[in-house]
Amino acid sequence: MCISTGEAAFSGTILYCGRQHHRAHGLVHVLGYQNTAVNLAGGPNAMLLHLPTRQLTPRHFLSAGRADDILHRMVAAVEQGAATDDGMAWMSAEPQPVQVFDHDVYTVLLADDPTAVPAALWQVPPHRRPDLDPDLLRFYADHFPDHTIAVCCFDNADAQRAKPLLMWYAPLDPDRLTVPALDSHTGKAPDLDATVPVDHWVLFSTDQAPSGWGAPVVYPGDMRHRLRAFLPTAVVGRHYRHGQTLPNGDFTISHRDLLAGDLDRIERLRPTRR
């Protein structure tokens, strides 16, 4: 469950979005993303994530370090009481042009304008350099003009060693938590009218929740303070099981509904052409 630049199979996806007041950065959202990837492209591949922020740089990416089970710990915290959903509501919905850097097993390209990405691909090592369909990049430019696009390039050996992707950012809408979940594993633009299979957890948190809200998360005792400052004390979540299908789209919930713990208010968000 994501968009890839070549054929791939993704399973066991964990998506997390938290709303947090950080001492140094103010009100931010923190995104977590992890899955098991099987690269079927026969060469380099990449995952594409659209992030609801206009400001994303390499410094916004957090290293998991030795705590590479962070998202699995969140799942463990909510697994006993989380509901399984059978349906989903709908909702319509002078810097460098492309920043290129290495993070964990990925070479990441960040772009406000996705159509600028091909000109920067020469900076990606050949063993990770994917073929990009221009129509896929045009899809992002047309449907997510206010977002930052992250192209996370990997090769066959990298796919099995990836730690969770963690990043923080100033969100476009602080009071709506959204995780990218559009689905297309063929290298082509996603079919927005399609029904797609799911196999993932969707997790949310807020540091404004009242006492007793959510399930407390237990972290490793030796976790670095810089990372811990971005992570929640408690989370809520819902499991969308293997074999289930949903309309193609992202997941989103309002902060008000999250505070109320009303996970039935999680909606499936389909982008519209701008």
Q: Do residues 52 and 180 lie in contact, with contact meaning Cβ atoms separated by under 8 Å?
A: no
**Do 229 and 42 contact (CB within 8 A), yes or no?**
no
| Residue 272 confidence (pLDDT) | 84
DSSP structural state of residue 60? G
What pLDDT is recorded for position 56?
Answer: 94
Per DSSP, the three-state class of 191 is coil
Q: What is the pLDDT along the chain (274 residues), one digit of tens a residue?
A: 678 888 877 778 899 999 999 999 999 999 999 987 777 777 888 999 999 999 899 999 999 988 889 999 999 999 876 555 555 555 544 567 899 999 988 999 999 999 999 999 999 999 999 999 999 999 999 999 999 999 999 886 666 667 899 999 999 999 999 999 999 988 899 999 999 988 889 999 999 999 999 999 999 988 999 999 999 999 999 998 877 899 999 999 999 999 999 999 999 999 887 7
- The CA-atom distances, in angstroms, between 85 and each of 9, 31, 78, 241 are 22, 22, 14, 8
C-alpha distances out from residue 262 to 10, 20, 156, 202, 256, Å: 28, 19, 40, 14, 9
Q: Check: CB of residue 112 under 8 Å from CB of residue 148.
A: yes
Strand partners of residue 61: 167
Judged by phi (left if over 0) then psi (alpha if -120 to 50, else beta), residue 95 lies in beta
- pLDDT of 199: 84
